[in-house]
Amino acid sequence: RSMGMVMGVGEGDQPLYSSMLLSMKVDDAEKYLDEYLETVSEMGKIMEDADFPFKYEVESMQIDGRRGLKLAMDMEGMFGQQEIPQAEMMLKLMFGSDGTMNVFMAAADKNTVLGSYVSKDNLISALKAFGQDDAQLVDEPGVAKVMEMLDKDAHFIGLWSPQGTLAFASRLMGALNPAAAAEIPQLGASPPVGFTAKLTPAGLETDMAVPSDVMKSVAALVRQIMAAQAQAPPGAL
């Protein structure tokens, strides 16, 4: 019926996808997982018979005492027999040491399926938090401010954090080249940028909301970069 996804920055040496969570609203959560397991298993057999470049496996399991499943996809298989060090490094950065994309899903209640990438522990934490009265993303002041500017009836709503994007880029560069990561400037706190899309008889309507605080934060960052360049020695990038 609906789907939501969030990708966070993550911490330390965690794989980049370890902070990704998803939520799906369905008619019957356990039935959805049963049908998902059956469908994906059949697809796996077809892909194997077709000698597809990568393989995946799906299995049923209990997760925190709930009906769940695990999907494991061997992403390194995409490269066949070729050894591409940069690509293998990126896979490990994204998914972990073995380069396998693991997705865990479980029924949170009768009509909700939650999922997480990389780690089952992240899903267990989400399941424990589900339904509690803790603060939600939509309650965060910056998010709430942007949501007021967007179409409440839109079919798709997206929130993009410029601050989080730079922090994510810094983590990525830090794993590849710590010296380069130190040169990435960070953006001050600001609300996210909002996007919406809506299907109407006239076509697809899109909208974007950019709070003034975002523009102020970006302007401050530009001044910071310009000041650093002015102080850099001749020939420095």
Element holding 236 (H helix, E strand): none
Nearest to 54 by CA among 19, 108, 99: 99
Q: Is 29 in a helix, a strand, or coil?
A: helix
171-196: average pLDDT: 77
Cβ(103)–Cβ(114) below 8 Å: no
CA 112 centroid distance within chain: 19
Residue 237 pLDDT: 46
The bridge status of strand 156-160 relative to strand 112-117 is: unpaired
- Give pTM, 2 decimals: 0.79
> How confident is the prediction for the chain on average, in pLDDT?
83
165-188: average pLDDT: 74
Angstrom distances, CA of residue 153 to CA of 142, 157, 159, 206: 20, 9, 16, 12
Least confident of 86-95, 100-109, 190-199: 86-95
> What are the two backbone dihedrals, phi and then psi, of residue 119, each rounded to the nearest 5 degrees?
-120, 130
| Highest-pLDDT range among 13-22, 118-127, 181-190 | 118-127
Nearest to 162 by CA among 222, 229, 230, 93: 222
Q: Which two tokens stand for residue 28?
A: 């019957």
Cite the DSSP H helix spans in the chain.
29-49, 85-95, 120-129, 141-147, 162-176, 178-182, 212-231
- With cut-offs at 50, 70 and 90, classify the pLDDT of residue 116: very high
